[in-house]
Amino acid sequence: MAISSLAVFCGSKEGNNQLFCEHARQLGYLLAAKNITLVYGGSNKGIMAAVANAVMEKGGKVVGVMPKLLNGLEHSHYGLSELHETEDMHSRKKMIYTKADAALALPGGYGTMDELFEMITWNQLKIHSKPIFILNSGGFYNHLIAHLKMMEQEKFLYKPFAKEVTVVSSPDELPFVNDQ
């Protein structure tokens, strides 16, 4: 699976488990080594900053997309290769999706869930057909994965969950970092 850019959805906070930021850094190093552009929310805080800083530390390209609304809350990262400012959250998500060949969710909160589920929904509606991944760092997404499997069992999904989303436990398990 060859990709040149990856949308990464993750928290603007670090969370309680140090593994979350460690996996974000590992991912950033792998993206830079594989010459894959990071496309993300543009923040200089939390897991978002950990992945972006790791890509830049290794000389990789980082594209941030920050809505005006969040600039004061999440603090735009002004050291990026590119930083785009949008009018609103919807424009932010659309720009991120447009600029990326695939998407990956790391641990995060409501915004991460919103971005992940919108991307899955857009695949289902055939608005796009981009590969989607979940990095289940330290089992962070175990409950969500169980719920998605229940949605499948209860016949609410059009395709089996595993055909929509690939779940991995560490960054080096991502197929696009192993085949380029």
> Whole-prediction pTM value?
0.94
Report, as an integer, the average pLDDT of 149-159: 95
pLDDT for the residue 73: 55
Nearest to 11 by CA among 120, 121, 113, 84: 113
Residue 78 pLDDT: 74
Q: What is the DSSP string of 18-73?
A: HHHHHHHHHHHHHHHHTTPEEEE--BSSHHHHHHHHHHHHTT--EEEEEEHHHIII
The pLDDT of residue 18 is: 97
Return the pLDDT at 69.
78
Domains observed in the chain: 5-175 (3.40.50.450)
Strands 62-67 and 82-86, by their bridges, are parallel
**Residue pLDDT, tens place only, 56-111:** 999 999 999 988 877 665 577 778 888 888 998 899 999 999 999 999 999 999 99
- The proportion of the chain whose per-residue pLDDT surpasses 90, expressed as a percent, equals 77
Greater model confidence, 42 or 167: 167
pLDDT of residue 6 exceeding 80: yes
Is 2 in contact with 179 (CB distance < 8 Å)?
Answer: yes
Check residue 72 and give its pLDDT: 60
Strands 37-40 vs 5-9: parallel, antiparallel or unpaired: parallel
| Residue 148: its H or E element | helix 142-153
